Amino acid sequence: VTRVVSTVSAAATRMASIASDIVKIPDYDAQDIEELQDCADGLDFAEAEYRATLKTMNELSDLAQECMQTRERFVVDLKNVAAHGMLEEGYLKEYTGGKGFSAMIDDVRLLCRLYRNHWETLSGNTCRKLEEVERAEAVIHRMGHLMGLKNLGTAEVTRTAQMRNRAFTYLVKRYDRMCRAVAFARWEKDDAEQFAPSLYANRGGKRKSQPDKDEAQQPGAQPTFLLETFA
């Protein structure tokens, strides 16, 4: 997507320099070039929205991994403290060690509360630091928020993916149409690729450098590119 956006943006700038030739073609005007840049900006925005949605899902997985490691360190430490009589073992009876995000959050919340409530006694007798407790509290708070988003996440990912796909398809169709206009306008000078380079260069397969003359004389023909799709 980034390559397509950058190619089309550069091409729109170059096309503007030959706008006087393009506007001579029926059904084409300078606004077509301006809208091409708008379409590129739209796809860039849609891509950012899609990536941001995916990042939210990935962030939850990363935090869950950190939360699990924190839980293991905290519970080992507190059990050791309890074994030395500095904390009643009964305080740990609510600890589950269960799987899943909710279980991890509940366990870490319990362990953080024990550190907070007994810090005066535990301080100096534990290898854990108060900063670690604060970090753990921040992590489970963020996880709780992301879990709420995750419940709606499938629909959100689908929505942003569909928006990106539509923006991509629309841009490619508009760009293909302008490529045909440039090929027609620059037919005699044979330099259309300098103003409207292919979006599929270096992607394998053999492609003609210029369309047949009959094709170049039909700037309003329907696009023939195979549009990329996204999973």
Which is more confidently placed, 228 or 138? 138
Q: Which residue has the tokens 């090929």?
A: 183
How does DSSP classify residue 203? S
CB 81 within 8 A of CB 87: yes
- Cα Rg, the chain, nearest whole Å: 30
Say what the pLDDT of residue 154 is.
64
Q: Which two tokens stand for residue 58?
A: 């990935």
* pLDDT at residue 78 tops 90: yes
Which is more confidently placed, 42 or 223? 42
> For 163-215, what is each residue's pLDDT tens digit?
999 999 999 999 998 898 898 888 888 888 889 888 876 655 444 444 444 44
Which H or E element spans position 54? helix 30-83
How much of the chain exceeds pLDDT 90, in percent?
A: 35
- CA-nearest of 215, 66, 229, 223 to 161 is 229
* pLDDT at residue 33 tops 60: yes
Which is more confidently placed, 155 or 205? 155
